[in-house]
Structure 1
Amino acid sequence: MALLAAVHEGATLTEAAGSLDALSPADRARAQRLAATALRFRGRADAVLAPLLHRAPRPETADLLRLAVTEMLALGEAPHGVVNAAVAAARAGGPKAAAAAGMVNAVLRRAAEAQAAWDAAPPARLPDWLRSPLAARWGEAVAAAIEAAHETTPPIDLTGKPGATLPGEALPTGSHRLPPGARVSTLPGYDSGYWWVQDAAAALPVRLLDPRAGERIADLCAAPGGKTMQIAAAGAQVTAIDLSPARLERVAENLRRTGLTADLVAADATAWRPETPLDAVLLDAPCSATGTIRRHPELPLIRDGAMIPDLVRVQAALIDHALSLLKPGGRLVYAVCSLHPAEGEAQLAAARTRHPGLVVEPPDLPGLDPAWVVDGAIRTRPDHWADRGGLDGFFIVRLRIPG
């Protein structure tokens, strides 16, 4: 309940996790899983509850009902226990919440019999500021498929050092995949630093960059460091730049565990400049993160699209600056974990207008589905690899300065 209340105030689930500090680790993990699942299935829960409610309940009561319905109809928990726990929670929530305890009891007992309505309900609809451009670009069927993919609890993907043995299913692009909920810190190779957690789509920008031993490469906006580690593992001399010293400490922690090295610089990526031009730059730019909704189901509820124009301006400035850091013939990979075309396809078109000689180098990567390549760029979506558990949404393109 505390997590969902924090989301209503605009916080992410990660930011709200501090409210669970009094719980045991097991109870804390369970609360986080349940809150995320309730957010993923909020469309179905609301469809079940709507005909059972005579008027809209208070926000905290609505959250309690959604959590309980999700436990019963999505997670298969015994209705008797769930209903009793929800009624007890209502009674403990203060006079106004306690007054709703009878309603909570009656509604949930009827909801427990509504499995068919749950199964027939559509997934939660994306907000119009995001859905409209997606449907305009790829059609209504794809927009609906993305919404359906957002209901799926994402698996855990791993990227490893060259030659390392990784647990899990080997994916065509080189990542390995574990089922959701796997305890990665207990698996072989974790303590030895042979691999790290990184969505299979998030591993593609560095694969496209193709870093080589001895090259001088900058990773702009580097935290939490998965891509920095990929570049370092290839033998390149990598400088990781991030505005936040605290976020850079996370990069340092990951480098220590994996035994890899990089130069870490806390700086504004639009102002930082190396002593001599670079062979390559990786720009994983700040973005709306709408490609990660399957991992962060609260995002559609705490974002309104107002940040898109500012993000587009920052991304364009970063692209222009990154190109200025390259030596003739140098290459830039631009990537965003966003589904919004303004941050991807339109951003590329604008960059090519500003830099007429810029060359787009089409990707040629092992295991890459040709359907993901559009106009020389990689576009992954959550509905890709649906039978395998999906992918984060990314836009990735490799650019080269003629030289």
Structure 2
Amino acid sequence: MKTPSHPRSAARTASRSPERRPPEAAGLRARLVAADALDRVLRGGTALEDALDNAAGLEPRDRALAFRIVATALRRLGTLRAVVGPMLDRGFPKSAPKVETVLLVGAAQILFMDVPDHAAVGLSVEIARGDGTTSGFAGLINAVLRRLTREGAARLAAIDTVAADTPDWLRQRWAKAYGAERAAAICAMHAHEPALDLTVKSDPEGWAQRLGGEVLPTGSVRILHAGPVRALPGYEDGEWWVQDAAAALPARLLGDVKGLNVLDLCAAPGGKTAQLVAAGAQVTALDRSGQRLVRLSENLARLKLSAEVVEADAAEFSGGPYDAILLDAPCTATGTLRRHPDIAWNKRPGDIAGLAELQGRLLDHALDLLKPGGVLVYSTCSLEPEEGEAQIARLLSARPDAERAPLTPEDVPGLAAFITPQGDLRTLPSDWVRGEPERSGLDGFFAARIVKGGTRRRG
């Protein structure tokens, strides 16, 4: 991967022999898909995974390239705009917004990816020529990107990239919640592509060795992934599934669930459902999205696991009562920016209040669906206190039948430092440094364990 301080020089670019392959063979289709997806994210507010639906027809290698280009452009969006924008005397043309998209796709490859400069420039120009809204700017795009191959290092050195690549409102919120130093560390970690974490059915040591990875203290297997996930050993046989190490923790906080009736609320795409079924629970997997439940069912089928799948609104579901409930609630997902960099640019401050109100209703209803003495684990992949700590404080204040069951170091092996003074779990992307940034970090998660008891005395 290119580093910000070492873009390829113009001299090195000029010394390379130009490729003789036709544009399609050189990866034009992958860049076209990337440019289209980036435009849909930035101007249509589309989620990255949905924006890449056009990648389905690509070869696995080209599909992976398209994803990396878009993800890199989104992780480095503020920096790319700060570098490229001043090279345009009149700024990005408002009459042709796709010009910015094409420039961002080319610049991401030149500055931050291991892609030959001539390919990044030439194919970006080809993209521009093939679109009626950008064809008149092909010469401009060519000139700007060629200039970038010469001046990129110097221009990057003048930018605070950590600050540039995170929207101000998020940085300010994190500084208030966690302090300026930790907020800066969170932002810095988001610049690095994360490793691939897997939850395995059994024999984590064996699978770590087979996949060239390592077993984390939490039991997940972490690999520095290269290549399509589906091509990895064990995928087709259903021996493991992709799940960030932090995302694998909430289901484990329920304890021994063997033989218990467990409700997994907001269950799709099914990683936590799979954990619970593999642990021996009788699981009802509920989600309001039928489309997402199709994916959950497909995942369970591959893993050779079964659960009762229910399409329903979690706030209105009337089943139960259940021995245990896992509520991984809908949230802003600001703890997952390393994996989903589109979230930083598609979320707005006003989203938090609406989601917090929904989370409160879901928490109250989940407690109603629980048997007396049953365990409820509430979690969100958000860094925002309103979606985590504040939700549990409100629940404990409003519901006499809710009692916190504080977490212990045995509940989260290797992560005892992330247990809060109140006994909940709070992970930050920057807190688990384990050598290189690519091997480090966890998604930002909050989780709390609640037991349904009798009426508590106030005082």
Normalised by the shorter chain, which TM-score bucket?
over 0.9
Query: Does residue 12 in structure 1 map to residue 52 in structure 2?
Result: no
Contact 2:249 2:412 in 1 (8 A): no
2:333 to 259, 274, 289: 289
- Over aligned residue pairs, what C-alpha RMSD do you find? 2.1
Quote the Cα distance in structure 2 between the aligned partners of 1:254 and 1:21.
Answer: 18
Give the superposition deviation at 1:306.
Answer: 2.2
Match of 1:231 in 2: 276
SS state at 1:166 partner: helix
Cα contact 1:134–1:341 (8 A) shared by 2: no
Instruction: Confirm whether residue 115 of structure 1 aligns to residue 150 of structure 2.
Output: no
The percent identity for this pair of structures is 46
Contact 2:85-2:92 at 8 Å conserved across structures: no
- Residue 351 of structure 1 corresponds to 395
Q: Give the length in aligned residue pairs.
A: 401
Q: Please state whether the residue corresponding to 2:79 is helix, strand or coil.
A: helix
Are the equivalent residues in 2 in contact too, given 1:217–1:279 (CA < 8 A)? yes
Partner of 1:391: 442
Whether contact under 8 Å (1:288, 1:307) holds in the other structure is yes
Work out whether residues 110 and 117 of structure 2, in 8 Å CA contact, stay in contact via their aligned partners in 1. Answer: yes
Q: Pick closer, same or farther for the CA change 1:372–1:12 going to 2, 3 Å.
A: same
Match of 1:138?
Answer: 178
Q: Distance in 2 between matches of 1:162 and 1:24?
A: 31
Q: 1:170 Cα deviation (Å)?
A: 0.5
Q: Which letter maps to 2:328?
A: D
**Residues 284-363 of structure 1 correspond to what in structure 2 (within 5 A)?**
284-363=328-407
Work out whether residues 262 and 281 of structure 2, in 8 Å CA contact, stay in contact via their aligned partners in 1. Answer: yes
2:413 paired residue number: 367
More off after superposition, 374-383 vs 115-124: 115-124
TM-aligned CA deviation for residue 158 of structure 1:
0.6
d(CA) in 1 for partners of 2:65, 2:74: 14
Aligned in 2, Cα 1:187/1:155: closer, same or farther, shift over 3 Å?
A: same
1:346 and 1:67 map into 2 onto residues whose CA distance is: 40
- The CA distance in 1 between the partners of 2:166 and 2:106, in whole Å, is 23
Cα displacement (A) at 1:109: 2.2
Deviation at 1:116, TM superposition (A): 4.1
Residue 382 (1) aligns with residue 429 (2): yes
Alignment partners' CA distance in 2, 1:120 and 1:395: 36
Deviates more, 1:48-57 or 1:210-219: 48-57
Alpha-carbon distance in 2 for matches of 1:258, 1:21: 22
Identify the match of residue 81 of structure 1 among 102, 106, 119: 119
- 1:196/1:226 contact within 8 Å kept: yes
- C-alpha deviations, 1:157-189, integer Å up to 9, x for none? 111224464232101111001113343333333
Structure 1 residue 4: deviation in Å? 1.4
- The whole-number CA distance in structure 1 between the counterparts of 2:102 and 2:443 is 29
Q: In structure 2, the residue corresponding to 1:112 is in which secondary structure?
A: helix
Aligned residues of 1:331 and 1:399 also touching (Cα < 8 A):
yes
Q: Which residue of 2 aligns with 1:159?
A: 199
**How far is the alpha carbon of 1:362 from its aligned partner?**
2.2
Counterpart for residue 99 of structure 1:
136
Q: Which residue of 1 aligns with 2:104?
A: 66
- Tell me the CA shift for residue 193 of structure 1: 1.8
SS in structure 2 of the partner of residue 294 of structure 1: coil
Shift of 1:98: 3.2
Shift of residue 22, structure 1, vs aligned partner? 5.5
Kindly tell me: are residues 92 and 255 of structure 1, through their superposed partners in 2, closer, same or farther at Cα, counting changes over 3 Å?
closer
Q: 1:249 to 1:102 in 2, by over 3 A?
A: closer
The equivalent position to 1:48 in structure 2, one of 56, 71, 83, is 83
Gaps of 5+ in 1: none
Task: Give the AA of the match of 2:194.
Answer: P
In the other structure, the counterpart of 1:36 is: 71
Give 3-state SS (helix, strand or coil) of 2:134's partner.
helix
1:310-351 per-position Cα deviation (integer Å, ceiling 9, x unaligned)? 211111111111111222211100001111111011111111
Residue pair 1:166, 1:195 contacting (<8 A) in 2 also: no
Question: Which amino acid letter does the alignment assign opposite residue 219 of structure 1?
Answer: D
1:104-124, Cα deviation, whole Å (9 max, x unpaired): 233222211222433563134
